Amino acid sequence: MILKTKQLSKSFGGLKAINKVDFELPKNEIRGIIGPNGSGKSTFFNLVSGIYDSDPGSYIEFDGHDITFAPPHEIATYGLSRTFQLLRLYQDMTVIDNVMSGYHTRVPYKFFDAVIGRKKIWDQERAIKEEMMELLSFVGLADYAELNASELSGGQRRLLVLARAIAMKPKLLMLDEPAAGLSPVNVDNLMKIIMQLKEKYGLTLIIIEHILKVVMDTCNSVTVFDHGQKIAEGTPAQVKDDNAVIEAYLGKKMDDEEMRKALAV
């Protein structure tokens, strides 16, 4: 198990955004997370990556480390990387700087070497830059390396965010709606790149996605959230036929008696 949560809860005031979720994820799996808006998917990501503190009684374990109360930067050093729904691109930095800043946890030299500016530093910086340029050309952004990130198109931004998250060579990559707002062709292209990256770096993936086709086609297993609770888990085929899932998405099926009552009012 690379990621394990026990009784994970988070409430904002009276609202239980996440309510006692037990979640287990084996290595090398591609897990899809689906659920209606406001069901707690993104909150789950924020809890796992340490951006929110979870409520007392929760337990999160990542790759053998207890990360329940760890700050986000510490969790990142254990090899957990994530993207954000709203991208959070570094707008005023060049594309290559964006990707290189994702490399932070792997930077080999110490601060004082950098202050003194030894030759070693510049050699290592160049090696990092070369490696990151390779990554950029892999996702197809090498030509734009020196432009500002704010000058990229929507689809290119999604690719850049993906590259930045990969730069730290994570063990687990959590993608929050990677394909939101893309045209169908671009979605296919993006998913192809994600799969290639998974093979190349041996990643474990968690994907939140509203495009069900993507989830059903690419994921090995799917977890469904509703009202902060895990309501179903299993292979895509199992989840598709689950009554609780259909209810969460489409509403409850009524029998004749209930229907008559509802119409009478």
Partner 1 sequence: MEKFKSIIRDYPFIAFIIAFVILAFVPSVVFTDVYQSHLATLIFVNIVVAAGLNIVKGYCGQVTVGHVGLFAVGSYTAGTLFLYLGLGFWATLPIAIIVTAIFGVAMGIPSFRLEGPYLALATLGGGEAIRLFIENGNFFRSTFGISDIPTPSLMGYNFDSPDRYYFISMTIMIIAVYFSFSILRSGVGRAFMSIREDPICAAAAGINVKKYKILAFILSAMFAGAAGAVYAHMPPGYIHPNNYTVIEMVTFLAMVVLGGLGHIWGGIIGAIVITIVYDLTRPLYKYQLLIFGLTIVLTILFMPKGLGGFIDRYFLEKRFKKKTGTEKTT
Q: Which residues of this protein are in contact with partner 1, per CB under 8 A?
A: 49-51, 71-73, 76-77, 81-82, 84, 88-93, 97, 100-105, 107, 109, 111, 114-117, 119, 121-123, 125, 143, 146-147, 151, 164, 168
108 or 202, CB closer to partner 1?
108
- State the minimum distance, in angstroms, from the CB of residue 100 to partner 1: 6
Helical segments of the chain, H only: 41-48, 72-77, 95-101, 111-116, 119-139, 154-166, 184-201, 212-218, 236-240, 243-250, 256-264
122 or 201, CB closer to partner 1?
122
- State the minimum distance, in angstroms, from the CB of residue 71 to partner 1: 7
Please tell me the distance from the alpha carbon of residue 244 to that of residue 35, in angstroms, as a whole number: 11
- State the minimum distance, in angstroms, from the CB of residue 151 to partner 1: 5
Please tell me the distance from the alpha carbon of residue 86 to that of residue 83, in angstroms, as a whole number: 9
At 254, give phi and psi (nearest 5°): -100, 150
Please tell me the distance from the alpha carbon of residue 223 to that of residue 119, in angstroms, as a whole number: 50
208 or 248, CB closer to partner 1?
208
DSSP bridge pairs for 96: none
- State the minimum distance, in angstroms, from the CB of residue 146 to partner 1: 6
- State the minimum distance, in angstroms, from the CB of residue 173 to partner 1: 12
Q: What DSSP string runs through 159-203?
A: HHHHHHHHTT--SEEEEESTTTT--HHHHHHHHHHHHHHHHHHT-
DSSP bridge pairs for 225: 230
117 or 251, CB closer to partner 1?
117
10 or 230, CB closer to partner 1?
10
Cα dihedral 169, 88, 85, 66 sign? positive
- State the minimum distance, in angstroms, from the CB of residue 158 to partner 1: 15
- State the minimum distance, in angstroms, from the CB of residue 259 to partner 1: 47
Please tell me the distance from the alpha carbon of residue 54 to that of residue 59, in angstroms, as a whole number: 8
Residue type, 216: M
143 or 217, CB closer to partner 1?
143
59 or 78, CB closer to partner 1?
78
Place of tokens 């959590």: 174
